[in-house]
Amino acid sequence: MRRFFASLLEVVEVAVIAIAAVFIVRHYLVQPFLVSGESMVPNFHNGDYLLIDELTYRLRQPERGEVIVFRYPGNESTYFIKRIVGLPGERVKIEDGKVMISNGEHPDGMPLKEDYLGPNGDNTSHIDVTLGPDQYYMLGDNRPYSFDSRRWGPLPKKDIIGIARFRLWPATQATVFQAPSF
């Protein structure tokens, strides 16, 4: 009988450690995310299963070009995936489908070279906004079909969940993501 209780105690210990490890990983390091919609085509498709890195932004600031998951500012229970194009303190100007960024390094503006976009550009938006501290400007890669900062404004940093790091599904398109360089 004593052996049985010792074995049972060992099983309970292993179970508690496993549950604690899963809890820590899931709530502080990575979380799964299922892409819903076509706003990030051609780079992300409806049904893509991603892993979101929640640790990186605890160690450094978000960077332009990174694809992130965040809480939609209009409804905290809804999560979006979009690309960062504007950083805190920058001026974002969109005209004829071209995004211009003005900042301390480029006071007259720098056009973004967005090689990751598909053929469907957005030639209808005319935006001119200056971001405050801790605000980001988010755009979908499929601009004509994306509900993004052009509609609901800058994203507060507090709403950022993490950066898209891996595509796990579909298995034939498993990928590790890198931010484009500008």
Query: Which residues carry out catalysis?
Result: 39, 82
Place of tokens 């935006």: 127
DSSP state of 142: S
* Residues 6+ away with beta carbon under 8 Å from 125: 94, 97, 143, 150
Distance CA 160, CA 101 (A): 21
Distance CA 149, CA 94 (A): 12
